[in-house]
Amino acid sequence: MNLAALLLALAVAGSTVTADLGGYLERSAASEFAGEQVVSCDTPDGDRRSLFEIAQSGGVVAAWVSDDGEAPIVTVGPGSSAVIEGGTVEATLVEGTAMGDDDAYTVGEEIPTTFLGRPALEVAFRRDGTERVRLTIDDATGAVLRTRVYTGAGDLYCDRRLVSFETEGVVLPIEGTAAVDQGVAEPIDPPSELPEAVDGFQLLDTYQLEEGTLSYYSDGFFSVGVVITDRPVLPDDAVPFELAGGHYLRVFGPGTVTVTWMAEAGNMALVGDLPPDLVESVLGGLPAPTRPGFFGRIWNSLFG
């Protein structure tokens, strides 16, 4: 498992096989379709955008970049996902992972609309009284055609939408089911330093990494992986920021975010699909950064 692979898996899962919100996403996960998907996000560090091919069949979804033969293929199946790159398979989610309780979200009214010339429904989901997610759902298949994610202030954070949509002759680019069945692991006891819940996110499962642990949290829609490892995590193009006096590094991608820091528990990373305000609230409930020390010296050498 590596952070890049986990980010890719979350980028796909964010609009396909996440939690069952009122049954909508469960139906979407069972649909069969293929097309192109655009993801565009307005992050604190600038716009992030991507375009990729996506196909879903037999409960497995695959995503890949069509104009770059070296780009990895991501597959997500029930309870597991994998990144296929250079002829190898690397599992990133594992069997038995549930996606949390969707009771945190209130389902809004179904509003008839059209999308890509097809009859569809728009449904809003509110968390703590604030609209956080708006789905556009295809009438005929139940597939989620568009997912809009909002900040706590009501601003649009990410817009994930299909720009083409086909339901006939759907073929995955690989044998997806066989791919995601490889590398399955059993859950272990979570690290004692991690809370069972933080700001509505429940700790679901923990898995052993080669040099640490990976723990999954969910609030029923958004997902977070929390890594504790012996090795320092210093992602490329990271941006430093402070929160409650602690020093962190972050990288926003299209629909994803990675935050790293050094805590007494070890080198830590948060990898998820959260909007920025939820990133900060979840970080506030996790082990706080320590300084000075190794991470502090790196911080000072890089950022003064």
Over its C-alpha atoms, the chain yields an Rg (Å, rounded) of 19
Q: Which two tokens stand for residue 108?
A: 């809004």
With a cut of 70, say whether residue 5 has pLDDT above it.
no
If one counts every other C-beta atom within 10 angstroms of the C-beta of residue 30, the result is 14
At residue 204, the pLDDT reads: 86
At residue 58, the pLDDT reads: 79
Residue span of the structural domain in which 257 resides: 197-303
| 120 inside domain | yes
Question: Looking at the structure, do residues 233 and 127 belong to the same domain, yes or no?
Answer: no
| 89 inside domain | yes
Question: Looking at the structure, do residues 74 and 133 belong to the same domain, yes or no?
Answer: yes
Question: Looking at the structure, do residues 206 and 171 belong to the same domain, yes or no?
Answer: no
At residue 233, the pLDDT reads: 82
At residue 296, the pLDDT reads: 55
What amino acid occupies position 62?
Answer: A
| 25 inside domain | yes
| 191 inside domain | no
Residue pLDDT, tens place only, 173-232: 765 444 444 555 678 899 999 999 999 999 988 888 778 888 888 888 888 889 999 888
Domain boundary among 150, 180, 210: 180
Report whether the peptide linkage leading into residue 173 is cis, meaning its omega lies within 30 degrees of zero.
no
Confidence of residue 73 (pLDDT cuts 50, 70, 90): low
Q: What is the CATH number of the domain that holds 232?
A: 3.30.200
What 3-state DSSP class applies to 200?
coil
Q: What is the CATH number of the domain that holds 80?
A: 2.50.20.10
Residue pLDDT, tens place only, 113-171: 999 999 999 999 999 899 999 999 999 999 999 999 999 999 999 999 999 999 998 88
Question: Looking at the structure, do residues 152 and 12 belong to the same domain, yes or no?
Answer: yes
Question: Looking at the structure, do residues 213 and 65 belong to the same domain, yes or no?
Answer: no
What 3-state DSSP class applies to 78?
coil
Question: Looking at the structure, do residues 156 and 222 belong to the same domain, yes or no?
Answer: no
Q: Which two tokens stand for residue 268?
A: 């830590």
At residue 298, the pLDDT reads: 58
In the chain, the number of structural domains is 2
Q: 267 forms bridges with which residues in the sheet?
A: 229, 262
Residue pLDDT, tens place only, 242-268: 999 899 999 998 888 999 999 999 999
Question: Looking at the structure, do residues 111 and 235 belong to the same domain, yes or no?
Answer: no
Residue pLDDT, tens place only, 12-22: 544 333 334 65
Say if CB 97 and CB 225 are below 8 A apart.
Answer: no
Question: Looking at the structure, do residues 176 and 206 belong to the same domain, yes or no?
Answer: no
- Nearest CA-CA partner of 223 in 5, 12, 14: 14
**Rounded to two decimals, what is the model's pTM?**
0.83
Residues 6 or more apart whose Cβ sits within 8 Å of residue 155:
42
Which of the residue ranges 40-49, 105-114, 182-191 would you say has the lowest mean pLDDT? Answer: 182-191
Question: Looking at the structure, do residues 168 and 213 belong to the same domain, yes or no?
Answer: no
At residue 59, the pLDDT reads: 74
- Nearest CA-CA partner of 62 in 198, 176, 233, 154: 176
Residue pLDDT, tens place only, 31-42: 999 999 999 999
With a cut of 90, say whether residue 44 has pLDDT above it.
yes
